[in-house]
Amino acid sequence: MTGLALSIKDLHKTYTGAEHPVFDGFSMAVEPGELCAIVGVSGVGKTTLLNCVAGLDRWEGGTIEVGGDPVPMGRPEASALFRREHVGLAFQQPHLLPEFTVEENLLMPIRIAGEVTPAHHAWVAELLDTVGLAGLGGRLPGTLSGGQAARVGLARALARKPGLWLLDEPTGNLDPATALEVFEFLLRLHQDLRPTTLLVTHNMALAERCGRTLRLGPEEPRQG
Ligand SMILES: Nc1ncnc2c1ncn2[C@@H]1O[C@H](COP(=O)(O)OP(=O)(O)OP(=O)(O)O)[C@@H](O)[C@H]1O
């Protein structure tokens, strides 16, 4: 799997009826395989940025390119296809399907795209192993701890080996020790599979351990 280059140039985004733009000429570039933490105060636009990059939201000006191709905007079918092919998304809530086993949850993105083969079963077993959940494939999500469910959510986002992994506070509702544990598995997944990754987080200790940290909004005043 190869991480895809992400390029954002001169992004302009204002929500309908809002007084101020969320982005007014924002640009950034992320190298293939880079892990970039996105931090900034609440409301600065972190989730909006991820939604635009995923083609889930619209913007008024500027370009967003993934792997050199523009992210489709205002074309729901093209956006959905773009996400299926290139994007793995994970959120604060893992949103696992409760009536399906952990293994079936991991296979679901593959099943939606086509036939599930024995190689796919072997692949999701490998993914489960990477997130420290080998042997738990037969469990139902309701029997998992919050940290285990978060790890499944992260792995599921990589089931189709996307070039872009967009993570919106995936450890946000976990206690600090569990958040750290899940983050270690996140790092391991990233190290193994090297998707280009944006990780939105409020946890500066975790952000500092990413290859790069991008702060949206005004710089924090320096002490002294
Ligand atoms: N659907 C929407 N319609 C109108 N305004 C919105 C919408 N979604 C977000 N906003 C506004 O846009 C700004 C950026 O929101 P966003 O959710 O991207 O911030 P954030 O940095 O992710 O915040 P948090 O850290 O609290 O999750 C905020 O002022 C928010 O109120």
Phi/psi for 164 (5° steps) reads: -135, 130
Determine the average pLDDT of the residues in 149-159. 98
Percentage with pLDDT > 90 across the chain: 94
Compute, in angstroms, the gap from residue 44 CA to the centroid of ligand 1.
Answer: 7
For residue 115, pLDDT beyond 90: yes
Contact in structure between 41 and 217 (CB atoms under 8 Å): yes
- A 10 A CB-CB count for 168 gives 21
pTM above 0.90, yes or no: yes
* Nearest residue by C-alpha to atom 30 in ligand 1: 43
Determine the average pLDDT of the residues in 32-49. 97
Residue 136 belongs to some domain of the structure: yes
* Nearest residue by C-alpha to atom 2 in ligand 1: 15
Band of pLDDT at residue 55, cut at 50, 70 and 90: very high
Angle between helix axes 146-156 and 176-193 (nearest 10 degrees) is 20
* Nearest residue by C-alpha to atom 14 in ligand 1: 45
Determine the average pLDDT of the residues in 122-137. 97
CATH of the domain at 35: 3.40.50.300
For residue 45, pLDDT beyond 50: yes
Mutate to test the pocket of ligand 1, among 14, 22, 214 (most ligand atoms within 8 A of CB): 22
Tens-place pLDDT, residues 64-99: 999 999 999 989 999 999 999 999 999 999 999 999
Tens-place pLDDT, residues 194-221: 999 999 999 999 999 998 999 998 765 5
Q: Enter the tokens of residue 147.
A: 């940290």
Compute, in angstroms, the gap from residue 48 CA to the centroid of ligand 1.
Answer: 6
Residue 220 belongs to some domain of the structure: no
Compute, in angstroms, the gap from residue 47 CA to the centroid of ligand 1.
Answer: 7
Place of tokens 């036939």: 115
Closest ligand 1 atom to Cα of 20: 29
Residue 75 belongs to some domain of the structure: yes
- Full residue range of the structural domain in which residue 177 is found: 6-215
Q: What is the pLDDT of residue 56?
A: 96
Q: What is the pLDDT of residue 219?
A: 63
Q: What is the pLDDT of residue 224?
A: 43
For residue 136, pLDDT beyond 80: yes
Determine the average pLDDT of the residues in 115-144. 97
Q: What is the pLDDT of residue 221?
A: 52
Phi/psi for 122 (5° steps) reads: -65, -40
Compute, in angstroms, the gap from residue 91 CA to the centroid of ligand 1.
Answer: 15
Residue 1 belongs to some domain of the structure: no
Mutate to test the pocket of ligand 1, among 39, 47, 58, 59 (most ligand atoms within 8 A of CB): 47
Residue 150 belongs to some domain of the structure: yes
Ligand 1 pocket, CB under 6 A: 15, 18, 22, 40, 42-48
Give the mean pLDDT of the chain: 95
Determine the average pLDDT of the residues in 151-177. 97
Compute, in angstroms, the gap from residue 40 CA to the centroid of ligand 1.
Answer: 12
Residue 40 belongs to some domain of the structure: yes
Handedness of CA 130, 136, 140, 141 (dihedral sign): negative
Residue 152 belongs to some domain of the structure: yes
Q: What is the pLDDT of residue 2?
A: 80
Q: What is the pLDDT of residue 222?
A: 52
Across the beta sheet with 6-13, the strand order is 23-30, 6-13, 61-66, 69-70
Number of domains making up the chain = 1
CA gap 161, 18 in Å, rounded: 37
- CA-closest candidate to residue 51, choices 70, 32, 79: 79
Residue 174 belongs to some domain of the structure: yes
What lies within 8 Å, CB to CB, of 166 at 6+ separation is 50, 53, 54, 87, 88, 89, 90, 197, 198
CA gap 173, 209 in Å, rounded: 19
Mutate to test the pocket of ligand 1, among 46, 200, 201 (most ligand atoms within 8 A of CB): 46
